[in-house]
Amino acid sequence: MSPSSTPVPSAAAFAHELKALVPELNAALAEAFRPLGLTCVQADALMALRRSGPVTLKELSRLLVAESGHPSRLIGRLESAGLVRRERSPADGRAVLLSLTPEGEALAVDAERAREPLVRRFASRYGDELDAVTAFLRRVRRDLADGLALAEAEEST
């Protein structure tokens, strides 16, 4: 089927369901992280820093899929709470690397444990479908980033 014959209502329904999924997923995660005193974004940042080790703010931004400006404020709050530290890069003195403090490391581990039941329920309920859906969503995201939306808009004018 060519892109022009793809049913537009199906694509619109897909976009709607995808946009509706994010707040639902965030609500489930917020419930898991609430006892730790963390928001979803804070927990994501701590877990990302734990997985990746010291990174720049720009690298952390990519890991979090965050909007510009937001990661800087987020890291400022986590740093004030004693969970994250900023240090000059030994390789490039101009670069600042973010890393977890021992308290941040412990809280990142707690966040991973708090998220684990939800991850297990997803795996149990959706099993084999997760890999295919994840691959599909990555392809859609990459296509959009590569200008699919712009190209399609130009074709319709």
Q: CA Rg, the chain, in Å?
A: 19
- Evaluate if residue 9 carries a pLDDT over 80: no
Q: CA 33, CA 112: separation in Å to the nearest integer?
A: 9
Q: Which domains does the chain have, with CATH numbers?
A: 9-111 (1.10.10.10)
Predicted local distance difference test score (pLDDT) of residue 141: 84
User: Quick one: three-class SS letters along 19-77?
Assistant: HHHHHHHHHHHHHHHHHHCCCHHHHHHHHHHHHHCCECHHHHHHHHCCCCCHHHHHHHH
Q: What is the DSSP string of 89-145?
A: -SS-TT-EEEEE-HHHHHHHHHHHHHHHHHHHHHHHHHTTHHHHHHHHHHHHHHHHH
CA distances to 5, 14, 44, 64 from 67, in Å: 34, 23, 14, 9
- Evaluate if residue 91 carries a pLDDT over 90: no
- Under DSSP, the state recorded for 1 is -
How confident is the model over 124-149, as pLDDT tens digits? 999 889 999 999 999 988 888 888 65
- Evaluate if residue 58 carries a pLDDT over 80: yes
- Evaluate if residue 110 carries a pLDDT over 90: yes
* Helix, coil or strand: residue 28: helix
* pTM exceeding 0.85: no
Q: CA 46, CA 106: separation in Å to the nearest integer?
A: 10
Measuring CA to CA, which residue among 45, 50, 79 is closest to residue 61? 45
